[in-house]
Structure formats: structure tokens, C-alpha cells
Amino acid sequence: MPTRRQVLAATAATAASGGVSGCLGAEKNVAGRDQPSRMTLTITTLPADSDPHAIRIVRHLAEHLEAVGIEPRIRTVDDAGLYREILINHDFDAYVGQFPSADPIDPDALYSLLHSSFVAEPGWQNPFGLTDPAIDDLLDRQRRADHEDRRRAVAELQDAVARRQPFTVVAFPDMLTAVHDDRFIGWERTRPATSEGLLELDANAVVGTMTDDEGRDGEPTDEEPANGEDRDGDPTDDRRLRLVTTDSRITTNRNPIAPEHRRYGTFTGLVYDPLVRAIDGEEVPWLARRVVRVDERTVRVEMREAVWHDGEPVTAADAAFTYAFLADTSLGKAETPIPSPRFRGRSTLVDSATAIGDRTLEVRFTDAAAATQRRGLTVPILPEHVWRSRTDLVELPAGITINEMTTEAQVWENPDPVGCGPLRFREAEADERVVFERNPAHAIAAEPESFPERVRGKPAFETLELRVVPSDVAAVQQVGDGLADASTSNLGPDAVPRIGREAAARLVSQRSGAFYHVGYNTRRVPLSNPYFRRVLARLLDKAALVGSAFQGYARPTASPLALSGSWLADELRWTDGDPATPFFESDGEFDAAAAREALREIGYRYDENGALLVPDSAE
């Protein structure tokens, strides 16, 4: 019986050798002889009502593929389907999507995204199937190096990725939010779709002067009952933060390690606490009271006194369990470890975690520099008494084509989450709403002086209610009518004019770290060819897409680190066009002839009708 890892590795090897089905394979005639065929490329993405930006990028790319003789095929799937096909089955040619981070990323986030040691793993672990020793070496170097040595390694890494193009970064979008300032303020200095952004909100000084069922003049409105209750019959609460979203997943699944149900982990990030939380680029001791360095690879963490939401004490044993569990959610029950796909890159920084007292944890890191090690302390700490029973092996859901097992922990919906964070779960209605409430026992309230001023004594609300609405327009309407304080799902640019027509709503725009990109399956011919991928990248007019796909609410880029401050390589700064893969352009128009010539120069052929032919190696 082959092991799980052997099955995964064999699957990857089969794909890399060209033994794949799909649009890049060659057609055969009935006699069995190779029949030269037109190259086709399937691009997978979300439908327009889920992501209007992505589908516009796809259509732009498809138009230019057609112009250079490649037949484009557009495939739209829902969130679950996209995750399954791209990040688990690796059954795709190319896709357009967003990297799942609202904040600018640390360079080490590229480690699990691109290192060949992750090629057979699910999730955002090298979904491109890239196996490049030079990139592996640079990823290892940036992880081990410190100060200027790391800066040089990161610059070289960006250059290598730009030349090999396992994915093409298109743009960093603006996170567009409709807000209503009557009750809570501070939206413009935060990213409202992040845990930290919600923590930093302040209550408006006028909160308490009117209730939800009163208008601005203190009179009952026609929309709300005048009996001191809201529409659901709950007592009105001036400190209830009311949010709306088009994403219903949190109403049915609250598992913090289930990547197909988490985009940014905004709400689970407030239910579960890490030892250290990153806030505005600053690493703040959170569940940890302080972190003391023992030697180059070891720190001792003194944890705060805390309790889980079910009343059990939080101990160092829970933290030690968490690191072992993230590394292998079967805790040794499977032949080979089954790690959590979410937080995978960060958890690989930790070699071991040992409880040496009720609230003292010793963490030993892998061979990484001190600045990089700290990322390993930002994973959510889980209660051992809840999660240890979730280590049993289960069959993967239908639709997973790689024949492997997973653990109950990764498919469990976690309906009543038990964390120790500043919010605790109260109730939910599937596909309708979810409600969280303030955790009065959290140290942020009990020991406010030990936290940064901007989050001291927070959150500024007693309850948080998230309601699901059918569209961006409906979200804006709710905010404009004063029935919601803000939208949390990123609004499409088409909703912006509607915000302008709502007197009580305003637009808040913050640059998001969730960059849009085109990902290529390098396991498949000809996408295994970096020169071919570079030509595809040059079919994208990123500057034009900022206008047509994002209506100006984005920034074109050539590097995934473009928002990461001084980490951006000088050679990849966007000044006058794309410095890495310049668009094929002549007199302001797409130069299809130049693109066709570029394909001929790297060995591709056209038939008499101008169709690009599948290379012989794929026939």
C-alpha cells in the first residue's frame, strides 16, 4: 500500500511528465498517429458575481491569447470548487485569483508558496508545482539570513521569480468598504476586513445618545419597531457592531485551520489568540506576556493567565499541543504526517515546542534567523481538550481526485468554537448571520496597560453581528439606510457610485495585500517552460487592467512584495511600465505580431491558419 506522500509525489511526477488530461494535451487521429493540434489554455476563476475583478482579467488575457493563436477556454467555479481544483487536485492549466493576505506579506511567506518541498501538499503550498533548485536555494537563504544578507537574498529571489514566472502578479487592489460613522469611527486608519482593523475601531462619542430604533432626531423610524427591540426581538445595543458581507462561509464553518472556508480569517482571528499578534507591522506580545531569547534557536515564552471561552485554563501544554498538531493533525495516527495547510509556512519555522510549566513554553526554531523566527509565534493557539479528539483519519469529500486521507480536524465545521480571544461565539443562523460577543475575561480588558494604546481596552463594541446579503449593492444599501455600520467583503468598483448616492454612507479605501495574479500549472507542458510563461505574462496590460478591471482602485505591480516596504527590489519598482515582463505594445495597442514572433523564437510553430500548435513534446 503506497503511503500518502508517495501517492502525492507520484501524482505530481505524472503531471510533470506530461501525462495529464485536459486542454494542453494533444489530440490523436484514429490511426494513432500524432495529429498536430491547436494549443488551448483553460483559465479557471470565480464567476463575476463573486469576483468581478478576476473575470475581467481572465477576459483580457483570453482576448490576447486568441490573438496569438491560442484557443482560450474560460471556466468559472465557486469558492469551494476553486479551492478543490487549484489547491488540492492541482487540476488546472492557469487560474486568476487573489493571494489570501489582507496585509502586505513578509518575504518568508514565499517559502511555502514556492519551495519544491511543498509541491505535493494541498492548500497554498506551491500550487504551481514549481521545482526550481535556484529558487529553493534563495528561499532557504532568506530564511536563514539576517539584516543586509537577507535583503540581498530577497532581492535575488524576486528577480528569479520574475524571470521564471510561476505566477504573474497583476495588481494590488484597494479594499473598498462602505461605512456609516454614527456609531463607530476609525475606519480610515484600519483595514476593516482584518481582525486587527476591527480591534482598532473606536466608539463614536455620540454612541449612547440614540438607539438603533431611533432616527437622527430621536424619533422612531418607520423601518424599525419602537418598542426597544431590534427586528429579531433582541434588546437594542448601542455598542453592537453591525456588519454585512456577501460571504456566508463563517455562518456555517468556524474552523480556523480550514483554508477553503477562510480567506483572511478575520473573525476566527478574534476568537483564537496567537502568542504574538502582528499589528500595523509591529509584533505585539498577545497571549504571551513576554518572549525571552535563550539562544540563537530557542526562546522562552511566558504566557498570560487566561481562560478558554468554556472556562478551562489556558496552559503552555495547549500551546505545545498546537505546534505538534499543526505539524501533523493526526498526531502520529497516519503513516506520514498530515499537516494543516493553513499556517503551514509559519509552523515549519518551529522545530519543537515544550511546556516547562503551567504558563511557560520553550520554543525551538528551525535553522532560521531571529527576525524570521518570530513569524512562527503568530499562529492561533488551540485548546488541546477540544482538538485532540479530532485527530482520527477520515476519507476526503467527494471531488478530491488525489487518493489520500485527511483528519477530522481539517473537515470539522467547529460549530461552537472555543478560543481565548477578545471575542467569543454566541450564535449563528446558516447563510444568514453570525454573532460574537466581547470576552470580558480577556487580558486586553483586564490588563490594558500591557497592550499598545490603539488597542488598549478594546474592542469598542460589546457584540459583533455579521449579516449575509446577496450583493454588493445590497450591502451598500444596508449601510446607507443605517442598518449596518460597515461592509466587510471587498466591494467591487461598480458599487462605488451607489455609495456616493447614499447620504449616510461613505467610501473607505485601503490598499490590500491580497494581490491578484495569474497562476500557472508548471506540471503541464508547455506551462513547464519558463520562457513560455514569460510570453504569457507579457500578454497582460497591467496598467490598462487597473482602469478596466478595477476602475482605478488598484496598483499595477511586478512583485508580490511591492507593498512590503523596503523589501521590494529596486529593479522591480513600477515606474514607466512593467520592469519584468513588459506588455507587447505598439502605439498604445496590443502588438500581436510581436507576441507571435516571441513564441516562434522560443521554438513554437503555427499552422497555415495562424493557430499555435501544441509542441511535439506534448503530442
Closest listed residue to residue 248, CA positions, set 464, 509, 428, 437: 428
Q: State which amino acid sits at residue 185.
A: I
Between 230 and 531, residue with greater pLDDT: 531
- Of the candidates 99, 110, 131, the one whose C-alpha atom is nearest the C-alpha of residue 12 is 131
For residue 332, CA distances in Å to 2, 345, 388, 607 come to 17, 20, 12, 56
Instruction: Give residue limits of the domains in the chain.
Output: 4-27+34-173+514-618, 181-253+422-504, 273-411
In this predicted structure, what is the pLDDT of residue 35? 65
**Averaged pLDDT for residues 365-378:** 94
For domain 181-253+422-504, the CATH superfamily is: Periplasmic binding protein-like II (3.40.190.10)
d(CA 299, CA 297): 7
**3-class DSSP state of 8:** helix
Interatomic CA distance for residues 287 and 234, integer angstroms: 33
The two beta strands, 288-295 and 298-303, are antiparallel
pLDDT band at 4 (very low <50, low <70, confident <90, very high): very low
Predicted confidence (pLDDT) at residue 7 exceeds the cutoff of 50: no
Give the C-alpha distances (Å, rounded to integers) separating 308 from 142, 255, 413, 441. Answer: 37, 16, 19, 9
Residue 329 grid coordinates: 493533525
The C-alpha atoms of residue 197 and residue 456 are separated, in whole angstroms, by: 13
Looking at the chain, the whole-number percentage of residues with pLDDT higher than 90 is 70
Map grid coordinates 509541491 to a residue. Answer: 119
Q: How many CA atoms lie within 13 A of 371 on its CB side?
A: 15
pTM listed for this prediction: 0.87
Burial of 194 (0-12, 13-18, 19+ CB in 10 A): buried
Residue 373 near residue 365, CB atoms below 8 Å = yes
Average pLDDT over residues 536-562: 97
Q: What backbone torsions phi and psi does residue 508 show, to the nearest 5 degrees?
A: -115, 125
What would the pLDDT profile of 186-225 be if each residue is shown by its tens digit? 888 777 778 888 999 999 876 543 333 433 334 444 444 4
Cα distance between residue 155 and residue 561, in whole Å: 10
Per-residue pLDDT tens over the stretch 63-89: 999 999 999 999 999 988 898 899 989
What span, in angstroms and rounded, lies between the C-alpha atoms of 466 and 267? Answer: 10
DSSP assignment, residue 573? Answer: -
Instruction: Give the count of beta carbons closer than 10 Å to the beta carbon of residue 462.
Output: 14
Torsion over CA: 366, 367, 369, 370 (sign): positive
Give the side-chain half-sphere CA count within 13 A for 303. Answer: 29
- Specify the CATH architecture of the domain 4-27+34-173+514-618: Roll (3.10)
pLDDT reading at 373 higher than 70:
yes
Fill in the DSSP letter of residue 266: T
Q: How far apart are the first and last CA of the chain?
A: 32
pLDDT tier, 37 (very low <50, low <70, confident <90, very high otherwise): very high
Q: Give the 3-state DSSP-derived string for 120-164, with helices as H, strands as E and coil as C.
A: CCCCCCCCCCCCCHHHHHHHHHHHHCCHHHHHHHHHHHHHHHHHH
Q: Which of 172, 173, 180 is nearest to 244 (CA)?
A: 180
Please provide the average confidence, as pLDDT, over all residues in the chain: 87
Phi and psi of 38, rounded to 5°?
Answer: -70, 140
Query: For the segment 479-512, what is each residue's pLDDT rounded down to a tens digit?
Result: 999 999 999 887 887 888 888 888 788 998 888 9
CA–CA–CA angle 337, 340, 341 (5° rounding): 115
CB 561 within 8 A of CB 154: yes
Q: Is 75 helix (H, G, I), strand (E, B) or coil?
A: strand
Average confidence (pLDDT) over 117-132: 95
CA angle (343, 346, 351) in 5-degree steps: 120
Residue 284: which of 192, 352, 377, 366 has the closest Cα? 377
Helix (H) or strand (E) holding 55, with range, is helix 52-67
Q: Does residue 314 surpass a pLDDT of 80?
A: yes
pLDDT tens digits, 580-616:
999 999 999 999 999 999 999 999 999 999 999 998 7
Express each pLDDT in 280-298 by its tens digit. Answer: 778 899 999 999 999 999 9
**Domains 4-27+34-173+514-618 and 273-411 in one fold:** no
Class of the CATH-defined domain 273-411 = alpha beta
Rounded CA-CA distance 273/318 in Å is 12
**Cα–Cα distance, 191 to 146 (Å, whole number):** 29
Q: State yes or no: pLDDT of 17 exceeds 50.
A: no
